Amino acid sequence: MPVTQSGSQPLAILGGGPVGLTLALLLAKRSVASIVFDARTIEQARTDQRVLALSLGSLQTLRALVELPATALAPIRSVIVSSVGDFGRAVLDDDELGAETLGATIRYGDLVATLSAAAEANELITLRRPHKVVAVRQSPSSVEIEFENEQRISASLAISAEGFGHTGAASVSHAAVVADLELTGIGSDEAFERFTREGPLALLPLPSSTAATQRRALVWCMKTAEADRRIGLEDSAFIDELIAHFSENALRVVTLHARRRYPLHEQARDQLVEHRMVYLGNAAQTLHPVAGQGLNLGLRDGVALAEQIGFTHVEARDPVQALHRYAQSRRVDRAAIVALTRFAPAFFSTRFSPIALARSIGLTALAVVPKLRREFARLLMFGVRF
């Protein structure tokens, strides 16, 4: 296979999830070859049906690399942000922001399948799955990567895009209950971010809504024990508990499709670089899904890392020289989004009345101050930019 400019050793991407595959495609655009290893088969990855809200910035990044299947995408044109029991309600709207759309949703499995097909068709990318990494050993001039099947390769860099991976967390205190719903009583292309004292609850657009019913993906975060209880409820009881969290009187759930549960891991690495090993995406930071920021932030990691490696490639330098610049360039955006996703669920879950008042004032400010609303939406759509 083709090799990177730095010599005879390939550049290894550990993890072919959405971030690892996007990075491989971004590198290939800069004429940098890579090998991607993933522990799962593509069929296994396809079964992950979680719905991801892609920001406008992420859509632009992905559309420059692949053709996202139109039938798998649902546009998000407005997001209604509110909090149970608090006054104030803000609407982030694409017209007001002068954007074509705020973003779009796609299922994880559809996104990975599209990126995988593009990677397989690209002569600068070698994709190996299932190929599980079990160890990485570093020396001054290379890394040795060992796989479950006892094969080994030597590489110039080990780029970890393994997600939360094998960092070995024990039990997780919170989980998200997800399900597809058919609803009446809401506008088309509208998304909801509703904060409850138990945790945030999102309704995200899905493709194939009709004039009669709107299809939405539910992402409802709560303590793990509550999630287990709600997964076990009869459909009608689950729907009653869900509807009780909304103030929209006209809202009705017509159909509830299979519920699933995702454990909510959270971590953020202090150091993104360990000599020839570098982390991005969920391997760098695994976030609470509030406001749908994890993948969006991970894709921005990929853009920054590809750019820095691209510079070393053009100048025929060792790619290890790219890593500290990458880490430096990601400092502010990471810190802002990690802080937002940690702060928001705690801020909206407390019943302490001064904070409840601050919540209402914050939502009202967002509702009545267009500049604040635009800045907040830009942060969600593009992260922190200079």
Ligand X SMILES: Cc1cc2nc3c(=O)[nH]c(=O)nc-3n(C[C@H](O)[C@H](O)[C@H](O)COP(=O)(O)OP(=O)(O)OC[C@H]3O[C@@H](n4cnc5c(N)ncnc54)[C@H](O)[C@@H]3O)c2cc1C
| Residue with token string 């006054």 | 87
Judged by beta carbon, residue 57 or residue 319, the one nearer ligand X is 57
Judged by beta carbon, residue 74 or residue 356, the one nearer ligand X is 74
Of 39-47, 120-128, 243-251, 350-358, the segment contacting ligand X by CB under 6 A is: 39-47
Judged by beta carbon, residue 40 or residue 194, the one nearer ligand X is 40
Interface with ligand X includes 57 (CB under 6 A)?
Answer: no
Strand partners, 127: 36
Smallest gap from Cβ 125 to ligand X, in A, equals 15
Q: Which residues have C-beta within 8 Å of that of residue 96, sequence separation ≥ 6?
A: 370, 373, 374
Euclidean distance between CA atoms 201 and 181, whole angstroms? 13
Please report, for residues 133, 136, 181, 212, the alpha-carbon distance to residue 167 in angstroms, rounded to integers and kept in the order given. Answer: 13, 14, 34, 46
CB 37 within 8 A of CB 13: yes
Of the residues 6, 12, 13, 17, which one makes contact with ligand X according to CB under 6 A: 17
Smallest gap from Cβ 25 to ligand X, in A, equals 13
Which among 335, 228, 357 is positioned nearest to 287, based on CA atoms? Answer: 335
Which among 3, 19, 327, 31 is positioned nearest to 156, based on CA atoms? Answer: 3
Of 13-21, 183-191, 240-248, 319-327, the segment contacting ligand X by CB under 6 A is: 13-21
Please report, for residues 137, 167, 172, 364, the alpha-carbon distance to residue 269 in angstroms, rounded to integers and kept in the order given. Answer: 19, 11, 18, 35
Q: How many helices (H) and strands (E) does the chain have?
A: 12, 22
Judged by beta carbon, residue 282 or residue 329, the one nearer ligand X is 282
Interface with ligand X includes 45 (CB under 6 A)?
Answer: yes
Which among 209, 235, 383 is positioned nearest to 295, based on CA atoms? Answer: 383
* 89: its two tokens: 């309600």
- Give the N- to C-terminal CA distance of the chain in Å, as an integer: 38
Secondary structure (DSSP) of 90-126: EEEEHHHHT-S-SEEEEEHHHHHHHHHHHHHT-TTEE
Strand partners, 138: 143
Smallest gap from Cβ 291 to ligand X, in A, equals 8
Interface with ligand X includes 165 (CB under 6 A)?
Answer: yes
CB 195 within 8 A of CB 313: no
**What DSSP designation does 290 have?**
G
Smallest gap from Cβ 274 to ligand X, in A, equals 16
Of the residues 13, 25, 38, 192, which one makes contact with ligand X according to CB under 6 A: 38
Judged by beta carbon, residue 76 or residue 363, the one nearer ligand X is 76
Of 15-23, 62-70, 79-87, 345-353, the segment contacting ligand X by CB under 6 A is: 15-23
Of the residues 18, 205, 310, 362, which one makes contact with ligand X according to CB under 6 A: 18
Stretch 107-146: interaction string toward ligand X, x if CB under 6 A: -------------------------xx-------------
Smallest gap from Cβ 175 to ligand X, in A, equals 9
Smallest gap from Cβ 271 to ligand X, in A, equals 17
Q: How many residues bind ligand X (CB under 6 A)?
A: 35
Residue 130 burial by Cβ neighbours in a 10 Å radius (0-12, 13-18, 19+): middle
Judged by beta carbon, residue 262 or residue 311, the one nearer ligand X is 262
Of the residues 10, 20, 109, 200, which one makes contact with ligand X according to CB under 6 A: 20
Judged by beta carbon, residue 209 or residue 364, the one nearer ligand X is 209
Of the residues 205, 289, 319, 383, which one makes contact with ligand X according to CB under 6 A: 289
Interface with ligand X includes 281 (CB under 6 A)?
Answer: yes
Of the residues 53, 56, 76, 119, which one makes contact with ligand X according to CB under 6 A: 53
CB 289 within 8 A of CB 176: yes
Stretch 294-333: interaction string toward ligand X, x if CB under 6 A: xxx-x-----------------------------------
With H, G, I as helix, E, B as strand and everything else as coil, classify residue 26: helix
By DSSP bridging, strand 89-93 and strand 200-205 are unpaired
Of the residues 29, 63, 166, 197, which one makes contact with ligand X according to CB under 6 A: 166
Q: Taking the mean position of all CA atoms in its chain, how far away is CA 137?
A: 29
Which phi and psi angles does 22 have, rounded to 5°?
A: -65, -40
List residues near ligand X by CB under 6 A: 14-20, 37-40, 45, 50, 52-53, 132-133, 161-163, 165-166, 176, 178, 219, 262, 281-282, 289, 292-296, 298
